[in-house]
Amino acid sequence: MTPAIKCIITDDEPMARKGLQGYIEKIDFLELAGVCEDAIQLNSLLKQQPADLLFLDIEMPYVTGIDFLKNTPNSPKVIFTTAYEQYAIKGYELDVLDYLLKPISFERFLKAANKAYDYFSSAVSNSGNYLFIKTDNKLEKVNLQELLFVEAMENYVALYTADKKLITHSTLKALQEKLPAGQFIQPHKSYVVNIQCIQSIEGNILHVGGKYQIPISKYQKEEIMERIVNDKLLKK
């Protein structure tokens, strides 16, 4: 099951914010994570509160929604909400999920929400011993034997193999659920590691893939060591 999509509303019109809040409350797979009056508030909130999806107005004081999106690397996915139809083309150039023209009916909002649900539920798909990862507007195959580790990056995860790094919009928890538990461990809240790719253990560090160092949380070290070493430790 896809986790609830965490949403932030950003609009300088109080009635528009209230209307979107009411719509989000009606849809069980959407979760309201915050409400902002402008892009400046949004910028501050995102440093404290991770989100998956922004309902973002375009015409706002100080910073427009378009300028915010252009200047925010690794932004959450966006659904534009605006009274101005002329911005539609610009929205699609910025790879937004949808473009809602005010006044927004619930029927049209629901269509956009379902589009977001389809996007997040298909960001990572499992097919036996490999994954398909949605990245750069394409699906890329990753063999699990070649997957060194996965790193959490706020609203995204990065998957590392020996020769590439792929970034997709997902939570670490959602991706971990698609990995075989016997092959992958989570030594730290920000990492999931392929046990077969661990080359050495030094203190609280796992050496992985010849060039990566993954921390082990002190609260999980005993369990992690047992999972990795088990009965394979050669004793004197």
**pLDDT score recorded for residue 33:** 94
Kindly report the number of other CB atoms within 10 A of residue 75's CB atom: 18
Same domain, 159 and 183: yes
Residue 19 covered by a domain = yes
Residue 76 covered by a domain = yes
**pLDDT score recorded for residue 192:** 94
User: Sorting pLDDT into bands at 50, 70 and 90, what band is 146?
Assistant: very high
| Domain termination residue (choose one: 126, 152, 179) | 126
Residue 127, pLDDT > 60, answer no
Sign for the pseudo-dihedral over CA of 228, 231, 232, 234? positive
**pLDDT score recorded for residue 27:** 96
The pLDDT tens digits for 9-41 are 999 999 999 999 999 999 999 999 999 999 999
**pLDDT score recorded for residue 134:** 84
Same domain, 114 and 146: no
The domain spanning residue 22 has which CATH number? 3.40.50.2300
Tell me the C-alpha distance between 62 and 128, whole Å.
49
Tell me the C-alpha distance between 113 and 175, whole Å.
21
Enclosing domain of residue 69 = 5-126
Same domain, 81 and 193: no
**What distances in angstroms separate CA 95 from CA 76, 80, 89, 146, one per listed residue?**
11, 11, 10, 30
Residue 50 covered by a domain = yes
Query: Counting every residue, how long is the chain?
Result: 236
- Of the chain, the percentage scoring pLDDT greater than 70 comes to 90
Same domain, 146 and 113: no
**pLDDT score recorded for residue 120:** 78
User: Sorting pLDDT into bands at 50, 70 and 90, what band is 173?
Assistant: confident
Same domain, 103 and 158: no
The contacts of residue 80 (CB under 8 Å, 6+ apart) are 56, 57, 58, 65, 87, 91, 96, 98, 99, 100
The domain spanning residue 194 has which CATH number? 2.40.50.1020
Same domain, 161 and 215: yes
The pLDDT tens digits for 89-119 are 665 567 788 999 999 999 999 999 999 988 7
Average pLDDT, the chain: 87
| Domain termination residue (choose one: 126, 148, 177) | 126
Tell me the C-alpha distance between 215 and 10, whole Å.
37
Q: Strand 130-135 to strand 124-126: parallel, antiparallel, or no bridges (unpaired)?
A: antiparallel
Half-sphere exposure of 11 (CA within 13 A, CB side): 22
Residue 235 covered by a domain = no
The pLDDT tens digits for 46-75 are 988 888 899 999 999 999 999 998 888 778
* Highest mean pLDDT of the ranges 42-56, 109-123, 215-229: 42-56
Same domain, 190 and 152: yes
Same domain, 121 and 134: no
Domain count, the chain: 2
Residue 145 covered by a domain = yes
Same domain, 83 and 64: yes
**pLDDT score recorded for residue 19:** 97
Same domain, 118 and 10: yes
Same domain, 103 and 87: yes
pLDDT higher at 159 or 129: 159
**pLDDT score recorded for residue 137:** 72
Tell me the C-alpha distance between 99 and 90, whole Å.
10
| Domain termination residue (choose one: 93, 126, 159) | 126
Give me the helices (H) in the chain, please.
Answer: 14-25, 39-46, 65-70, 88-93, 106-121, 172-176, 221-228
- Of the chain, the percentage scoring pLDDT greater than 90 comes to 49
Q: Averaged over 135-152, what is the pLDDT?
A: 88
Tell me the C-alpha distance between 45 and 153, whole Å.
16
Tell me the C-alpha distance between 95 and 149, whole Å.
28
**pLDDT score recorded for residue 28:** 94
Residue 236 covered by a domain = no
User: Sorting pLDDT into bands at 50, 70 and 90, what band is 222?
Assistant: confident
User: Sorting pLDDT into bands at 50, 70 and 90, what band is 212?
Assistant: very high
For the chain, what is the largest distance between any 2 Cα atoms, rounded to a whole number of angstroms?
75
Same domain, 98 and 122: yes
